[in-house]
């Protein structure tokens, strides 16, 4: 489904973020991307969303080379992908409901449909009672659940999570992971960059380890091993 072939990304002649990456990800997989800071995890995710393009190599999603998609068509690629970030990236001047509705507004859904789907999704991530609050009024876990609701409401094929538990306490972090697990059980491919060894070791999922822009390990039921 997702294929990285000889992908390299250089930000300058001395800064090599990714170096000849070859990686294949099947539909419905749950993959942990691990590695020290600066290993290239976030760069890999950003290439997949076409925020940046690789210096060389090919990245295909459903056999379409996403590096060759026209700028004006990139939004169609992004509709297949949901995002969750460490800093949540919620809009401060919008309520929980409005933040989640944003994805459906971008998809051009009508108001009735938006209301129904947002209600369903907020109930699913258990923050329906917080729907009228603004991000600054939420706890870290609630904010991350809001971000996840926004990411999954458009029913994406892939969910990218960049350090989603980085700012959360262990209990809340586990809640987020359980939610990601559930989303994966629906058939959504989940790609999660993390430093949390406890989570990686407990879940026993595929682990891709990056270091210095290279994949140094790719194990099926891997462990956090640096």
Partner 1 sequence: MGKYLQYAKRNIRRTPFQAIAASMVMFLTFFALLIFLTLAAGSQEILRFYESKPQVIIFFKDNTSAADVNAIQNALSQEARVASTNYVSQEEALQIYKERNKSDPALLELVTANILPASLEISAKTPEDLGPIAELMSKEPVVDQVLVPKEVVANLTAATRVIRIVGLTTVTFLTAFSLLIILMIIGFKIRLKRSEIEIMMLIGAPNSLIRMPFILEGIFYAAAGALSAWVITYTLLWYFSPFLQNYLGEVQLLPVNPLFMLSLLGVSLVISFIIGGIGSLMAVRRYLRI
Q: Least separation, in Å, of the C-beta of 113 and partner 1?
A: 13
Q: Does 113 bind partner 1 (CB under 8 A)?
A: no
SS3 32: strand
Crossing angle of helices 111-124 and 96-106, rounded to 10°? 130
CA atoms of 72 and 112, how far apart (whole Å): 28
Q: Least separation, in Å, of the C-beta of 212 and partner 1?
A: 27
- Judged by beta carbon, residue 39 or residue 114, the one nearer partner 1 is 114
Q: Least separation, in Å, of the C-beta of 161 and partner 1?
A: 13
Q: Least separation, in Å, of the C-beta of 26 and partner 1?
A: 23
- Judged by beta carbon, residue 95 or residue 196, the one nearer partner 1 is 95
Q: Does 75 bind partner 1 (CB under 8 A)?
A: yes
Strands, E assignment, 39-100 = 56-61, 64-65, 81-85
Q: Does 53 bind partner 1 (CB under 8 A)?
A: no
- Judged by beta carbon, residue 154 or residue 222, the one nearer partner 1 is 154
Q: Least separation, in Å, of the C-beta of 98 and partner 1?
A: 10
Stretch that binds partner 1, among 16-24, 29-37, 97-105, 117-125 (CB under 8 A): 97-105
Q: Which among 18, 82, 1, 30 has a CA at the least distance from the CA of 55?
A: 18
Q: Does 115 bind partner 1 (CB under 8 A)?
A: no
Q: Which strands sit side by side in the sheet containing 16-25, from one edge to the other? A: 16-25, 2-10, 56-61, 64-65
Q: Least separation, in Å, of the C-beta of 197 and partner 1?
A: 28
CA atoms of 75 and 112, how far apart (whole Å): 23
CA atoms of 1 and 121, how far apart (whole Å): 26
127: phi > 0 → left, psi -120 to 50 → alpha, else beta; which? alpha
Q: Does 221 bind partner 1 (CB under 8 A)?
A: no
Stretch that binds partner 1, among 17-25, 77-85, 121-129, 163-171 (CB under 8 A): 77-85
């Amino acid at each position: 489904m997702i294929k990285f072939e000889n992908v390299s990304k250089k930000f300058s002649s001395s800064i090599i973020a990714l170096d000849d990456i070859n990686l294949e990800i099947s539909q419905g997989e749950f993959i942990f991307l691990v590695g020290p800071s600066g290993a290239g995890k976030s760069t890999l995710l950003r290439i997949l969303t076409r925020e940046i393009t690789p210096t060389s190599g090919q990245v295909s999603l459903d056999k379409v080379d996403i590096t060759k998609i026209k700028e004006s068509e990139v939004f169609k690629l992004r509709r297949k992908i949901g995002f969750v970030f460490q800093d949540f990236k919620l809009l401060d001047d919008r309520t929980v409901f409005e933040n989640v509705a944003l994805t459906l507004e971008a998809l051009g859904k009508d108001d009735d449909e938006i209301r129904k789907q947002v209600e369903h999704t907020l109930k699913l991530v258990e923050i329906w009672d917080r729907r009228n609050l603004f991000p600054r009024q939420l706890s870290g876990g609630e904010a991350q659940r809001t971000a996840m609701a926004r990411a999954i409401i458009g029913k994406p094929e892939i969910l990218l999570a960049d350090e989603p538990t980085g700012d959360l306490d262990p209990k809340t972090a586990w809640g987020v992971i359980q939610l990601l697990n559930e989303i994966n059980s629906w058939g959504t491919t989940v790609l999660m960059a993390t430093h949390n060894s406890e989570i990686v070791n407990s879940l026993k999922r595929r682990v891709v380890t990056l270091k210095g822009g290279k994949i140094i390990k790719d194990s099926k039921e891997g462990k956090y091993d640096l």
